[in-house]
Structure 1
């Protein structure tokens, strides 16, 4: 398997993977993504900004995510705790991960962990202090993945695009030891992502 930057030619398959993720969340009784989010325009924007990534198993895309070093407006206020690192809106010091989805046939194969590993590698490369991510309170599988991957639950944030769903999200963060610190061994091949 290979993790690489998403291209516009991947768009239809990315939307299929997200639809599969939407169905999986619904099956768990989670109201996240049950409106129109993430809409095609959001994914197009991820691709245009070179923030979208995909995981390919041969010729088939099996996972997608958004990974970038940029300020996340909804992360500026955190309730019931605090972030592990300090960050300023005009000078973010973290990599953010959103819109993680793995197609049902490939779940529980370490792909989600590999996406998180890529985010940590990117944070090191960019000199960022950490990786931040959030998840729905009902998304226990994602919470387990984050905790198993060494992320710390820092509190609760509230998303502005909940579309009538639960706006609360558990906020997680993992610090990066150092810019040149060795990363954990990854089960995926990481394509040149420039």
Structure 2
């Protein structure tokens, strides 16, 4: 498995990962990613254009996708709770892994990369959020060492559990 910055030719594989995650959420009755076609092609194209899109490749196949940004996220300006660290942070959004590859450390590559690059450019922490019913993601986040900080409201007006990992 290797992590690379995504470009347009990765888009079909990225969309396949997102759609697999959307189907999983629907099956588990988790309302995350079930309305407004979010995330969709336009969101992923915007991530690619901003150079925030990353994929994990195995045998020339995209098996996981995520957006990693090393800039402030306005959704994190207000939190019902408190962040651990002040200062510069990196954010991981929209992690999606093909079902066959869940539990195989593909998602962990995104966190490892964000930690390494974040430290290099002076980030004090990594931040992430997820739906309160997304128990699999919450377990993953906590296993990676993130700590629960409170609740943020994301762009569509819904609440998300917010976590931070000091670097």
TM-score by structure 1 length? 0.83
- What SS is found at the alignment partner of 1:170? strand
Q: Tell whether the 8 Å contact from 1:95 to 1:122 is kept in structure 2 after alignment.
A: no
Which deviations, in whole Å up to 9, do the C-alpha atoms of 1:136-168 show, x marking residues without a partner?
Answer: 000011111111111000000111225xxxx11
CA drift at 1:117: 1.2
Could you tell me which of 89, 97, 118 is aligned with 1:94? Answer: 89
In the alignment, what sits opposite 1:181? none
The number of residues matched between the two structures is 166
More helix by share: 2
CA drift at 1:175: 0.7
How far apart, CA to CA, are the structure 2 residues paired with 1:47 and 1:114? 18
List runs of 5+ in structure 1 lacking aligned partners. Answer: 88-92, 177-194
In the alignment, what sits opposite 1:45? 46
More strand by share: 2
In the alignment, what sits opposite 1:155? 150
How far apart, CA to CA, are the structure 1 residues paired with 2:15 and 2:83? 31
In the alignment, what sits opposite 2:76? 75
1:113 aligns with 2:108: yes
Of structures 1 and 2, the one with the larger relative CO (CA 8 A, separation 6+) is: 1
CA drift at 1:28: 1.5
How far apart, CA to CA, are the structure 2 residues paired with 1:147 and 1:13? 27
- What SS is found at the alignment partner of 1:12? helix
In the alignment, what sits opposite 2:134? 139
- What SS is found at the alignment partner of 1:66? strand
List runs of 5+ in structure 2 lacking aligned partners. Answer: none
How far apart, CA to CA, are the structure 2 residues paired with 1:51 and 1:123? 13
In the alignment, what sits opposite 1:168? 159
Decide which structure has the larger Cα Rg and report it.
1
How far apart, CA to CA, are the structure 1 residues paired with 2:86 and 2:142? 21
TM-score by structure 2 length? 0.96
Deviating beyond 3 angstroms after TM superposition, the runs of 4 or more aligned structure 1 residues are: none
